[in-house]
Amino acid sequence: MMIDLGIIAAKAFLVLFMVLNLAGVLGWIERKGSALIQDRIGANRASIFGFAGMGLINTLIADPIKFLTKEDFIPPRGDRFLHTLAPCLALFPALVTFAVIPFGDVLTIAGREIALQVANLNIGILYIFAMASLSVYGIVIGAWASNNKFSLLGGVRGAAQMVSYEIAMGLSVLGVIMIFGTLELQEIVRAQGGLLQDRLPPWMAFLKSSIGWLPAWGIFLQPVAFLLFFTAAVAETKRIPFDLPEGEAELVAGYHVEYSGAKFLMFFTGEFAEIVTAGALVTTLFFGGWQVPYLMRDGFHLPWGDTLLLPHLAVVLLQVGAFAVKVVFFCWVQILLRWSLPRFRYDQVMRLGWKMLLPVALVNVIVTAVWIVLGERVSLRP
Amino acid sequence: MTLFIILAVLTVVSSLLVIFQRNVVHSAVALVAALFFIAVLFLTLDAPMIAILQVLVYAGAIMVLFLFVIMLLNPAALEPRKIAWWTLGSAAALLLVFLLMPRLLSTVAPRQAAPAGPGFGSPELLGQTLFGSFVLPFEIASVLLLVAIIGAVVLAKRKE
């Protein structure tokens, strides 16, 4: 009993530790990455005994110390309590979402099976959407409590944008749920373990022989859903090209214009944690989560028949490593997007959400349903 | 039991705050908290699906719209108390307590909670029930929502 509790606590700690650290490192990647893209040098000032570590010292040590020692300013006519509550509400959903994301298969140590996932809910995807829907509060309440017109406008924009894109996001995932037939994230990842040829109906002989060797990842089964989901996820993180809630040309800094010091740091960390969450979700739903192509429980089984057996621990480490690599890759893609695209106009954001993503997502659901029914009907024929 | 008492107290306190706060935004935030605690109560009752839907629909969607409207309209932050409404509301509440009290007092808490059936609260069972035995009420509800959406569009499109 005590050991079980200890394992759960260790897993929760590990996940939070990894997410928060990755969020911190992403701050550095964002600075150096943007410098790389814009042909600048980027952060390189702070150093310890002459060692600047490519600006890593700046981001990981100097920045937090500076943030924590700055004055915590609360607007005199603002709402003290809600002004303090809002950054917590912004950080909380991004961190707790990770509880249901599986970062590996089952690890067996001394006969004890440890599922590499903090909480295995049979409604994992719904839990994620519930938490995502709560993330609006940090912005709305923070914007209102600041008693600033720019903040308020940013908050109103943010709320409208996030509510709109949540719908497209939910509908795009519906196709994935239909294909894999479960709401459990661990089950979805397991279902992506096989080859594509086992997932295609028998009458698709041509596709089976040409691309059947690919792993049965969500991206190959639901490519449209991937594009929709990724777009909506970037919109939910409120970054360029969707950063209208904080568009500095019009709104100074939008909903967090009246935030300083540690509270601003919390908003900032929340944003990076959201990037990590979005990356992890894309990985889990569309890129096989912790699956390594052709890696089974006992080692590699290549499609042309070769096998390479590996010990259990090596397999688990490979899987966790694969998950980490994929998540970091999608975080990098999001940072790349932020520094290569211009900002939308607000009416364009709304039009994209309601008139493009939503109808396409609905059509995707219908097409997926027809595909599933056709596959079943035709394969049932003797 | 301890967990239930803690959650119940939190729920009741935040519900009372909804009524007694004179700032509209504070009331709305307290209502979000109350809905959230009710969701946790569902969680302790072996109904995670209902708990999640409670957060998703009420706390995540409806209350966001509430706050959105409050922020857009920005009503006077402190509304003066109107004595007439205050007395009327108190009288209605007292009447309700008076009517409910005999029933509450005669109810005995079960010593052993009845175990939930197999698959209780699972998405599969919920879907089968919703689209099997209750398909007609479900469709009626969706038609009702469709009518509401069309009505909203018509109102928004109307030129003055």
Which residues does B contribute to its contact with A (CB < 8 Å)? Answer: 23, 25-26, 29, 32, 48-49, 52-53, 55-56, 59-61, 64-65, 67-68, 71-72, 122-123
Contacts of A79 in chain B (CB under 8 A): 23, 25
**Alpha-carbon distance B123 to nearest alpha carbon in chain A (angstroms):** 7
> What predicted TM-score, i.e. pTM, was given to this entire model?
0.84
Which two structure tokens, joined as six digits, stand for A292? 């390594």
Interface test with B, best of A144, A169, A255 (most B CBs within 10 A): A144
Per-residue confidence in pLDDT tens, chain A, 382 aa = 777 788 888 888 888 888 888 888 888 888 888 888 888 887 777 777 766 666 677 677 778 888 888 888 888 887 888 888 888 888 888 888 888 888 877 777 777 777 778 877 778 888 888 888 888 888 888 888 888 888 888 888 888 888 888 888 889 998 888 888 888 888 888 888 877 777 777 666 777 777 777 788 888 888 898 999 999 998 888 887 888 777 777 777 778 878 888 888 888 888 888 899 889 999 998 888 888 887 777 777 777 777 777 777 888 888 888 888 999 999 999 988 888 888 888 888 888 888 889 999 999 999 988 888 887 766 544 4
Q: In this structure, what are the phi and psi dihedrals at residue A344, rounded to the nearest 5 degrees? A: -70, 165
Which two structure tokens, joined as six digits, stand for A36? 């790389």
Q: What is the ipTM of this complex?
A: 0.76
Asked if B49 and B7 touch (Cβ cutoff 8 Å), the reply is: no
| Helices A149-180 & A124-134 angle (0-180, nearest 10) | 170
**Alpha-carbon distance B46 to nearest alpha carbon in chain A (angstroms):** 12
- Give the per-residue pLDDT at A54: 67
> What burial class does residue A133 get, using C-beta atoms within 10 Å of its C-beta: 0-12 exposed, 13-18 middle, 19+ buried?
buried
- Give the A window 100-139 contacts with B, CB below 8 Å: 121-123, 126-127, 129-134, 136-137
Of B53, B67, B123, the CB nearest to A122: B123
Q: How far apart are CA A285 and CA A213, in angstroms?
A: 20
Q: Is the pLDDT of residue B75 over 90?
A: no
Do A136 and B65 lie within an 8 Å CB cutoff?
Answer: no
What residues contact B67, with CB distance under 8 A and at least 6 apart? A137, A140, A141, A144, A159, B25, B28
Q: How far apart are CA A271 and CA A265, in angstroms?
A: 10
Q: Write b or e for each residue in A165-200: b if 16 or more Cβ atoms lie within 10 A of its Cβ, otherwise e.
A: bbbbbbbbbbbbbbbbebbbbbbbbbbbbebbbebb
Interface test with B, best of A77, A81, A84, A141 (most B CBs within 10 A): A141
Q: In this structure, what are the phi and psi dihedrals at residue A233, rounded to the nearest 5 degrees? A: -65, -40
Which two structure tokens, joined as six digits, stand for A28? 């550095």
Contacts of B61 in chain A (CB under 8 A): 133, 163
Asked if A177 and A183 touch (Cβ cutoff 8 Å), the reply is: yes
Length of chain A: 382
- Give the per-residue pLDDT at A379: 54
A230-246 pLDDT, tens digit each: 999 988 888 878 887 77
Of A132, A144, A183, the CB nearest to B123: A183
What residues contact A35, with CB distance under 8 A and at least 6 apart? A41, A42, A43
Of A82, A163, A183, the CB nearest to B64: A163
